[in-house]
Amino acid sequence: MKNIKINLKSQLYNWYDFFLQTILFIPLCLYLYNKYSSTSGFIVFYIFLLIQFSFTFYLHLVYYLKNKGENFSIKEDKIERVKNGQKEVFYSADIKKIVICKSANMDKWGIPYTTFESFRVARVYLKDGRSFIMTNLLEYDLEKPLQILKGVKFERRKGFSFFI
C-alpha cells in the first residue's frame, strides 16, 4: 500500500532542473561577459530563464490546484481517493486503463532540455466513462506507486510537456 498526497519534497523535485540550469548558466554568462565585455549573454540568459520559469510555474500551479486536498491510497486491487472529505474507491476491475504522460527525455538516462519536462501526469480512465488525474506533485516518480496495481492496463504517452 502506498499513500500519496501533495508534499514539499515532490514539489521541490519538480523545480530541481530549473535551479540546476540557473546555477550552470550563471558562470557561463560571467565567462562570456569577462571575455567579450558584452551584456548580450546576460540578456539571452534572462530571456531564457523567464521563459523557463513561466512555463514551470504555470505547470506547477495547475498541477497543484488539480490535486490540492486529495489523498490517494494505492493498493494492489484498488485506488482510494479522499477529496473534500469524500472517499471514493476505484477497484482494479473498474479501471479501463492508466495513461502515464511524460516527456520522452525523462526516460532512464534522459536529460531534460527544459525545466518543465519533469512534470508528469497519470490519467486514470474508468470503465464507466469517468476519469481523474494524478500529478507528480503527489509523488515525483508517479509510475512507481501505480505499478502496485494488479490487472490494470498501462499506456505511455510521450510528449514535450503535458498541460492539463
Residue 20 sits in a domain whose CATH number is 2.30.29.30
Residue 51 lies in a domain: yes
Residue 6 lies in a domain: yes
Res 74 pLDDT > 90: yes
Residue 62 lies in a domain: yes
Which range of residues forms the domain containing residue 104?
A: 2-159
| Radius of gyration, alpha carbons of the chain | 19
pTM for this model (two decimals): 0.82
Could you read off the pLDDT of 26-73 as tens digits, one per residue?
888 788 778 877 777 778 888 888 888 898 899 999 999 999 999 999
Res 164 pLDDT > 70: no
Q: How many domains does the chain have?
A: 1
Residue 19 lies in a domain: yes
Which residue has 490540492 as its cell numbers?
Answer: 68
The better pLDDT of the pair 99, 39 is held by 99
Residue 89 lies in a domain: yes
Q: Distance between CA 71 and CA 94 in Å, rounded?
A: 19
Percent of the chain scored above 70 by pLDDT?
92
Residue 85 lies in a domain: yes
Q: Sign of the CA dihedral 164, 156, 160, 22?
A: positive
Q: Distance between CA 71 and CA 87 in Å, rounded?
A: 9
Residue 164 lies in a domain: no
Could you read off the pLDDT of 100-151 as tens digits, one per residue?
988 877 667 667 777 788 888 999 999 999 999 999 899 988 888 999 999 8
Residue 39 lies in a domain: yes
